[in-house]
Amino acid sequence: GSECNPSDLTGTKSCNDGDCPETCNEGIAIPWNNGLSCICPPHKQGPQCAEDVVGVSSCGCQWTVNSDACASDPCLGQGSICMNTFGDNYRCLCPPGSSGERCEQGTFCFQCSSYRYAKRTCEPMARAPAYIRDATLRLPVLNKQISRRKCTSDLWGTDQWSSRKLWVNGGCRAKFCVTYFKFDKDSARRGTSAKIN
């Protein structure tokens, strides 16, 4: 039949070892994160691409894979993988800690410690990959207490966060995390991405 050009993908799902589909029917099966993920054509959905999407017709044609969809390097961040799918579409496979259609958001965690009750200023973005440094960042949050002494709100602060600095005091030692999003494509390319054809 004629060639179709679907505008998006539906019904994509990742699975774990216990519930991996043996087949993706009309979809594409790819191994990912110790499991399998089915990429479904627009008229199919579900973990095995076996369910019809209401109101979307297969239009009696054969869905083809476009090998050029990843040529523009659309997936952002370090460790992302671009996979050509149906028509002019692609799918970004995001590494742990990042998400989004193009892996454009995620969480970056770091440790900051004050020893012997001395105040210390940490600059976590100095060690972050370039694509995170250039991203829009939310304020850090305390993720995990490390010191015996509780890191109360008066023992750490983000009042210097406009210059990407966080301070701790009074023996506070903790892991902090910051959410990043909306970094630009040029800075993201300084990371490492791959392509699957």
pLDDT in tens, 59-71: 655 555 556 788 8
pLDDT in tens, 1-24: 333 333 333 344 444 444 544 678
84/1 same-domain check: yes
pLDDT at residue 7 in the model: 35
**Structural domain includes residue 158:** yes
63's tokens: 């869905």
For residue 59, the model assigns a pLDDT of 60
Residues 110 and 81 both lie in one domain: no
Average model confidence (pLDDT) for the chain? Answer: 76
Q: CA torsion sign, 47 to 50 to 52 to 57?
A: positive
**195 assigned to some structural domain:** no
Residues 130 and 62 in one domain: no
Region of residue 43 (left: phi > 0; alpha: psi -120 to 50; beta: else): alpha
Domain count, the chain: 2
Instruction: With respect to residue 167, please indicate whether it lies within any of the assigned structural domains.
Output: yes
- The Cβ-side half-sphere exposure at 92, using a 13 Å CA radius, reads 22
Least confident of 5-9, 14-18, 141-145, 174-178: 5-9
Rg of the chain's alpha carbons, rounded to an integer? 22
Domain holding 148, by residue range, is 105-181
- Residue 1 has a pLDDT of 31
Q: Do the domain assignments include residue 188?
A: no
CA atoms of 77 and 71, how far apart (whole Å): 16
- Is 147 in the same domain as 74? no
pLDDT bracket for residue 157 (50, 70, 90): very high
Q: Is residue 196 part of a domain?
A: no
> Is residue 79 domain-shared with residue 110, that is, in the same domain?
no
pLDDT at 142: 96
pLDDT the model gives residue 64: 59
Residues 54 and 144 in one domain: no
137 lies in the same domain as 76: no
Mean pLDDT of 105-119: 89
For 18-58, the pLDDT digits (tens) are 454 467 877 777 776 667 777 777 788 887 888 888 877 66
